[in-house]
Each structure stands twice: as C-alpha cells, then as structure tokens.
Amino acid sequence: MTSANPDQAPAETDEFLWLEDIYGDRQLDWVRRENAVTEELLSRTGFERTEERLLEVLDSTDRIPMAGKRGDHYYNFWRDAEHPKGLWRRTTWESYVAPDTEWEVLLDLDELSAAEGTEWVWGGSLFLRPADGVSYRRALLVLSPDGGDAARYREFDVVDRAFVPGGFDIPTAKSRISWAGEDTLYVGTDFGPGSMTTSSYPRTSRILRRGQELADAELYFEVPEDHMMAVVQRDQTPGFERDIAVDIIDFYNTRTFLREGGEWVQLDVPLDVNVDVHRQWLLLRPRTDWELDGETHPAGSLLAASLADFTGGNRKVHRIFTPEPSTSLQSWSWTRDRLLLNLLRDVSSQITVLAPEEGWRAELLDACPPLHSVDAYAVDDEDEEAGNDYWLISTGFLTPSTVSRGTLAVGGSEGSTATAVKTSPAFFDTSGLTVEQHFAVSADGTRVPYFQVGPKDLVLDGGNPTLLNGYGGFEASLTPAYSGMVGRGWLERRITDAGGVERRGVYVLANIRGGGEYGPAWHRAALQENRHRAYEDFAAVAEDLAARGVASREHLGCTGRSNGGLLVGNMLTTYPHLFGAVSCGVPLLDMRRYTKLSAGYSWIAEYGDPDDPAQWEFVQTFSPYHLIREGVSYPPALIWTATSDDRVGPVQARKMAARMKSMGAGKVWFHEALEGGHAGAADNRQSARMYAMSYEFLWEALTGGLA
C-alpha cells in the first residue's frame, strides 16, 4: 500500500492486499481452498451431529413467534425446516394467544425466491399508517438479495397479499426510506455519484412521488460527504404530524432538525445528546455531562421537556432519570400515558414506570428476577383500548424466554399484572447447572463484571472446558439470555478427562468497557486511545477464571464477532498466553485500512483515524493484522466470515488468516460463507452450520482433539 499524502501515516507493505478484491476469481479460489481444509478438519469431529442438533433449535415450531401489532393484526416473520427463507404472516390477538395459532400467510419468501431467481433474505417491513389507524394495508418490504445490508424496498398490499402493481420499488442499495404520505416517500439511497457518504450510506434524502422516476426525486435534505448518514422521517402520529431530519455525523454525534415554515430548524442541543420527539414531549439523553442553564446533567441521564416550550426558547427540563455507579438507562418506550424505562443494575434488569402528567412520578415494575434480562415496551400506544398495554420479554441463561402482556394502571384503571402469553420450550438440560456473577479487577483497578454458567459442583482445578464471550464496543450491552445454541453447543457437552473426572462445558459472558452496561461513561472509557482498556478487561476476566480454578490456559477459549472479532483478534495477538483457542467471526482486524473497507469509515469515532499519524500511533496498538509476529506460539484459531458481508466485509478475515499462515502459525483455519451478510448466515441451516463450526472447533481445541 502506498500513499501520496505526506500528512498520512507512513505506508507499510501489505503483501495480501490482493485479497481485497472480494469477488475476484483468484481470490475466491483461495477462499474455496481454505474452506476445504477447514471442512476436512471438522469432518473428523462431531460437527455434523452438532449442526443437526442446533438446526433442531432454529427450526423448532415451538419457538416463540415474536409479533408486532399493527392495527387489528399481529405480524410475524418465521423460518423453519419447511420454509428456510421464511414466511411473513399475521394473525389476530385471539388466535395468537390460542394453543394453535392460525396464521394468514402474506408472503412466502421461498416461493418468491424460486419465482424470481433471487435468494431473497428478509429485512423487515415499513407500514404506511392509514388515516383511521386501524386498517393497515400498505407496507414497504425490505428484501436483501444476499443477506447484506444493501436491500430492495418494494410496496406490498397485505389485503391483496401481493406486491402493488406499479408501486414503489427502490433498487438494491444501502437505503434509508420512510413513508411521507400515501403517495410519497422520503428516500435516501444511491442516486449516483456524490449521493453516498464516505461511510457508504445515503448523504441525501429526496421526495419521491408515486409514478415518478427515482432520478427525478426532489432534494429535501443533505449532509456533508464525510458525515455518516442523512435520515428523514415523517412522524405520522395523529395531531402531531411533522417531518424530522437527522444528520448523523458519526455513531455518537448528530444534529436533529424539525421542518418549520418550509425550512429545517436545528434543535438547540449538543451534538452528543440523544433526541426523542414523541407527541408533545422531547426526551434528551446526554452522552457527556451537559450544563444547561446553570445545572449540570450527568452523562447517561434522561431529561424531559415540552417540545413546544423548548423550541420556543424555554429550555426548562425535568431530569427523570439520574444514573448511579451501578445503574444505567438502556432504553425507553412510550405507552399512551406512561413512559417505560429499561434499566440495568449491575447488569440485571430493572424497570421503572413514569407518569408524565403527574410530575413524572416514578414507580418500579416488579417483574425482574436477579441475574435475568427483562425488557418492557409498548404494545401499541395509539390503540384506543390497548394504548397502555405493554410487552415483557424475560429471559435468563437457564430460563427459557417468555413473552408476557400487561396493562399499566392509569387514572381510575387498576391495570393488570403481566401474564405469560408465549413461553419458549427448554432446548437443553439445565439440571445441575447454575448462574453466578463475578467481578474481575482490570489493570487499572476497575471492577469488571462477568457471568459464569456451569455445573453447581464445578471442580475448581483449572480443567474445565470454558468458553469466554465478549464484545466491548459501541455502547452495546451483553445481558443474560436463554440460548438453545449455547446450551446444546456448549453447556450440554461432557468429557471425562484422564483422571476420570467428568467435565461439562462452562460458558462465561464478560461485560467489559466499551459496552453500555454502565452507561455512556463505561463505553467512553475504552474509546480510541483508551481502547486497550477493553482488552485489559477481557484479559482480566480470563486471568480471574484461571485464578479461581475454573479454567487454565489450555482449557480456556474465547469467541467474538464483528467488534467482538476485533476483541478476540487482540486476545490472539497480544494475550496468546491466556487462551487455548480463539474463534474470530466476521471481524475487524486490519485497523490500518478498515476505514477504506465496506462501512469502516463510519467507525472512526469508535476507533480513531489511521490516516492521521497521531491517531495511527494508538490505532496500530490494537490492529491484530499488524501485531502478528514470527516465532510466537499462537493458540489454535478459527477465523470465519461471509463473502456478502457489506458492513465489515470478508477481506480483513482473509488477510489475517493468510498473514498468520505465512508467518508460520501452524494451527490457523479459515472459513468464508459465500452468502449470509454480516450475520454470517441467510437462513437457519447456514446459522446452524456457522455456530456448529465455532463450537466444534473450540471444543476439540480445548479438550485435546486438535493436538
């Protein structure tokens, strides 16, 4: 790689730059050869049996059909063995709660894919809100041709159960689209040169009217090319109709605009404040401490104001949530008359209900057992009868997920306690297992929580095959969750060691800095030049597991995907002495060139800019591709990705595997799914194969099968 810009970081030799041609014949031949080597290795294990057992979970017809309410119907997307591409379907409430739900199939993606010769992957639906709010009929369906982020938007009629003849049809791209009315869309898409940002997302939003050619759409809003994305949405709430535009500068900085008098008027708040406009209310969540009219509101707090007053110059706000050292705000949801706050207290859920018209009176919703995750959100805040109904989604490592529904007490109504509507079956044997929470101490003295799932009678002699999972980025929180994949793929596994002791798999989830478990400060602590803290935290958990006798180095593996792939890539290159095996999925690894690959430019706010020499000084310290050294004893590693991943892309994984092998790292395997996008899989079979590959590789490596 060379650079003509003297202000950029010095160039270095990249002998595997040729692998960046994603669809080149030579490159795909290399991929197929590497795939064959990995598949031959796995064929000598129990891979096929594991794959089938995991597929049973994904294809189970007893899984919870999660549903979203639109008008009088509840909509669900479903995949199983008979419908690998999936069905989009709907039902009534009476049928949904019945033992045998009767579904009306709206679209069969397997039939559509066969008819059109394209392997369509479901990406969701965007409904047009009808005038009466009940008779929902038109929707834009989001369909990806390969499972990537780029998708086609097509207008569909749920009554006719067919695409609308001559209806809206936006070609495949990384688009951002919303309804502006029955015959109008706000469209951000690839309109040609200059219409996409450096991050590969739309930099303009245009007004597209029914029957109009895409090229003739009128410019409505635009952002600079080096910003991340432009988004325009029409708030369709009756009585509060308005247009809102957002200039997403990067992941953590935005400008929000309201359309007033034919002009865009910017909301006067700092760039790092999250904004939510709902009916007459304005909610504001600062990511750093914010001084407003002489009062400092801490990062991670939630402020409420009258939208009309705030935009009119009266900036009086009510602080309706104040974070504590152990408690953070994760999300919120509006019912018709209440605001639900989903909190974490030391990574266990807590839910608060606020009454806006009663001075934001707060009370706890008693629905959250310890070491579990419970999320509350509105069923349909516009429904006359069900406006204050709420869903509860509760789950735990050993507790199958449950969907419950309740009604909040408002005025003279007593409401009703949430009762279970659907419960997931148990997919693995939990007898003898327990969940514990522990805290490791990182290099700078910070206490880092982690969950441990394993036998109650765990022998603490370091001999237990243990899988450590983590992420640590983008303020994303990892919380307890039931997973038939983890259960069957790891927790149910047993092996008798040479001393005659039966071992079961132990699963560990680390809540390291860079995530959002303790709010924005927890995330900010590992940004850019402080990225090493996330890796020190993860290493501290590994060391704590060894110190407590859970797993010694040869029995401890780690896994991560995407930003988590970067995490375990750093474990592989900087902390190889702590791990017996590494599974690295759809990863960032080449931090010198990540901004030039796929959507990488949009992550500069997280990692730093490698083209700035001062920032490259710290970025290179966590770039696994540049940290590989000859003569180092690396643990066995499986590096896996997907050709159609247009978010991170497959080339970083390719180059990492190639460079490690060229430097003599003997136990490195690579696999690339030829479809599936950033998720690594486009259907249940591919998902089962991906998980089975990772679990089987790790188990064999940690129990001597790769020796």
Q: How far is CA 312 from the centre of its chain?
A: 37
Looking at residue 637, its amino acid is A
List Cβ neighbours of 244 (8 Å cut-off, separation of 6 or more): 232, 233, 234, 235, 256, 257, 258, 259, 277
Report d(CA 209, CA 198) in Å as an integer: 28
Copy the structure tokens of residue 200: 């590969």
Report d(CA 381, CA 334) in Å as an integer: 7
Helix (H) or strand (E) holding 389: strand 389-396
Residues 189 and 202 sit within 8 Å (Cβ to Cβ): yes
The DSSP secondary structure of 613-636, one letter per residue, reads: HHHHHHHGGG-HHHH--TT--PPP
Q: How many CB atoms lie within 10 A of CB 304?
A: 20
| Backbone phi, psi, residue 244, to 5° | -125, 130
For residue 358, give Cα distances in angstroms to 152, 311, 363. 45, 23, 12
Go through the chain and tell me how many residues it has. 707
Report d(CA 554, CA 575) in Å as an integer: 13
Catalytic site residue 562? yes
Strand 339-345: give its sheet, edge to edge.
327-334, 339-345, 348-355, 361-365
Residues 58 and 487 sit within 8 Å (Cβ to Cβ): no
Catalytic site residue 297? no
Of 562, 598, 602, 694, the catalytic one is 562
Copy the structure tokens of residue 424: 């997931």
Nearest to 566 by CA among 690, 657, 468, 472: 472
Looking at residue 516, its amino acid is G
Report d(CA 513, CA 500) in Å as an integer: 39
Where does residue 302 fall: left (phi above 0), alpha (psi -120 to 50 degrees), or beta otherwise?
beta
Copy the structure tokens of residue 249: 């500068």
Of 348, 372, 678, 687, the catalytic one is 678
Nearest to 407 by CA among 422, 386, 424, 426: 386
Give 216's strand partners.
Answer: none
Copy the structure tokens of residue 150: 């780029």
Just list the catalytic residues. Answer: 562, 678
